């Protein structure tokens, strides 16, 4: 009987410890890439534009260069990907969606690519076109582009 009580006490302690850890993780101010991938992207009026399919990381400084937005198509057929500068995106206050200040009709004209044929996203000429399209200043190498103000 004494062993049973010890097991119950240990299991209770582990459960309480795990709950505390989960609560602490939810209150963190950092974001995991896995929480961004798949997140809905909407325009400033709340209309859905697509979903985040991937994040493009600069291997030199570790910053996020682009979020890859999946837009259009049906059940993955005919959809198009867009490399959106990280600076062009804002997380909603409730963190349930990401806002991009572009209308759906304008996004159709944005520089995009086929999901099976990615461009060289490290090419400065491509980057200038993308950054200009979204109205985001091209980042300097010395500038930290990983943090953005909240709306």
How high is the pLDDT of residue 146? Answer: 42
**Count of H helices and E strands in the chain?**
4, 6
In the chain, which ranges are continuous DSSP H helix? 2-26, 33-36, 104-107, 124-133
Which segment, 17-26, 69-78, 80-89, is predicted with the most confidence on average? 80-89
List, as own/partner pairs, every contact residues 49-52 make where C-beta atoms lie below 8 angstroms and the sequence separation is at least 24, other chains included: 49/100, 49/102, 49/104, 49/107, 50/79, 50/82, 52/98
pLDDT(68) > 90: yes
3-state SS assignment for residue 96? coil
Q: What are phi and psi of 69, to 5 degrees?
A: -100, 130
**What pLDDT band is residue 131 in, cutting at 50, 70 and 90?**
very high
Distances (CA, A) of 94 to 85, 91, 137, 141, 148: 22, 8, 27, 31, 16
């Amino acid at each position: 009987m004494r062993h049973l009580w010890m097991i119950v006490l240990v299991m209770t302690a582990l459960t309480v410890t795990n709950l505390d850890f989960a609560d602490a993780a939810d209150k963190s101010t950092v974001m995991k890439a896995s929480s961004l991938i798949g997140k809905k992207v909407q325009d400033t009026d709340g209309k859905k534009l697509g979903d985040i399919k991937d994040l493009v990381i600069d291997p030199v400084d570790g910053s996020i260069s682009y979020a890859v937005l999946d837009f259009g198509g049906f059940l993955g057929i005919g959809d198009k990907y867009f490399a959106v500068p990280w600076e062009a995106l804002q997380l909603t206050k409730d963190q349930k969606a990401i806002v991009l200040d572009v209308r759906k009709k304008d996004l159709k004209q944005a520089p995009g690519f086929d999901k099976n044929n990615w461009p060289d996203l490290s090419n400065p000429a491509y980057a200038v076109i993308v950054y200009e399209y979204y109205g985001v200043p091209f980042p300097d190498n010395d500038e930290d582009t990983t943090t953005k103000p909240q709306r």
